[in-house]
Amino acid sequence: MNWYEKLNQYFPIEEMKSKKHMETLLQERKDIYHKDEGKNHVLMYAELPDFLFIDYLFVSKDARGEGLGSKLINKLKDKKKPIVLEVEPINYEDSDSEKRLKFYQKQGFKHAESIGYERRSLATNEINKLEILYWTPNDESEEKIFEAMQQTYTLIHTFKDKELYGESYQPVHEVLSMNDKKNNQNIFDELT
């Protein structure tokens, strides 16, 4: 099974980029977009001057519990930059969503309580709400994380979207918003 098939089987269709999109990023944005692939893992990420964005992290069922995911995260943490990623909210009918959140919590990631993120999937045409998680080496603010997500959305998610999908994703200001922290419940609270 190739790297894209592994990702495609694990991640929901509404979160998946097309194979062509990822191949285009790897070729035309190779200065910032990277693939780390092994027998039991696929890590797709972007490295920009001020932060890292984990696009996809897959560890095969055979290797789970062996510390491979932690090793991959620590390799990124060694770069001493904030790390940002998106996850779907906990779905209690899908145990993987809860396991993913617990894994990132163990890795020291926090929930960006003030960042709202909803985008329309070009695959399903449905609006999907995602949560932003982040880890920072120097206690950067959520405003910095918000700026990192804006850059990620513009440079990675919508890269050549019209050309690749026949239509464009929504503009960044319709997808990302800063909210009042007090009105958001921390998803990690549900796990403890």
* Predicted model pTM: 0.89
Kindly report, residue by residue over 42-70, the tens digit of the pLDDT: 999 999 999 999 999 999 888 888 899 99
CATH of domain 3-191: 3.40.630.30
Which pLDDT value is given to residue 95? 58
Q: What tens digit of pLDDT does each residue of 4-27 get?
A: 999 998 888 888 999 999 999 999
**What gap in Å lies between CA 30 and CA 32, rounded to an integer?**
5
- 152 Cβ neighbours under 8 A, 6+ residues apart: 46, 53, 84
CB-neighbour burial class of residue 56 (10 A; exposed 0-12, middle 13-18, buried 19+): buried
pLDDT at 179: 85
**Residues of the chain below pLDDT 50:** 182-188, 191-192
At what angle are helices 3-10 and 19-28 packed, to 10 degrees?
130
Written as six digits, the tokens of 137 are 């080496």
The SS3 assignment for 188 reads helix
Residue 65's pLDDT is 80
Domain boundaries, the chain: 3-191
